[in-house]
């Protein structure tokens, strides 16, 4: 764990771990990368929203983030929209250390 991660609150560390250990590598990278890039700046409300997303089934979340299926209307939220937008960007989910300059 990096020094920055050690400085995070227990809640933020727990969310960061959960986001990067979903069950499928694709979702680990997309959700984990999104949360990792933003965890320090998330408000308490945004942390609540991330927790809700982390409760969603991995198979469904993978399909929604990849665009294979639309998100059901009752599950749409601003945070899920942010996550989906970030997942649609070129290179999404690729760790910075692996990206070409």
Q: How far is 65 from 26, CA to CA, in rounded Å?
A: 10
Rounded to an integer, what distance in angstroms lies between the CA atom of residue 98 and that of residue 24? 19
Half-sphere exposure of 45 (CA within 13 A, CB side): 3
As a whole number of angstroms, the distance between CA 44 and CA 68 comes to 31
Long-range contacts of 84-91 (CB under 8 A, 24+ apart): 86/30, 86/33, 86/34, 87/30, 87/34
| Domains assigned to the chain | 3-89 (1.10.150.250)
How confident is the model over 28-52, as a mean pLDDT?
96
pTM of structure: 0.86
User: pLDDT tier at 101 (50, 70, 90 boundaries)?
Assistant: low
Nearest to 64 by CA among 49, 48, 75, 78: 75
> Which pLDDT tens digit goes with each residue over 55-88?
999 999 999 999 999 999 999 999 999 999 999 9
Decide if pLDDT at 2 tops 60.
no
Residue 5 pLDDT class (50, 70, 90 cuts): low
Give the closest residue to 24 by CA, choosing from 52, 84, 65, 85.
65
Instruction: Identify whether the C-beta of residue 67 lies closer than 8 Å to the C-beta of residue 58.
Output: no
Give me the pLDDT at residue 23, please: 86
């Amino acid at each position: 764990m990096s020094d920055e991660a050690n400085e995070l609150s227990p809640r933020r560390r727990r969310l960061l771990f959960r986001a990067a250990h979903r069950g499928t590598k694709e979702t680990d990278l997309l959700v984990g990368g999104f949360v990792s890039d933003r965890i320090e700046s998330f408000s308490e409300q945004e942390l609540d929203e991330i927790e809700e997303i982390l409760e969603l089934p991995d198979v469904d979340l993978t399909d929604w983030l990849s665009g294979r299926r639309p998100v059901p209307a009752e599950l749409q939220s601003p945070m899920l929209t942010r996550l989906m937008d970030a997942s649609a960007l070129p290179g999404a989910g690729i760790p910075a250390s692996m990206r070409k300059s």
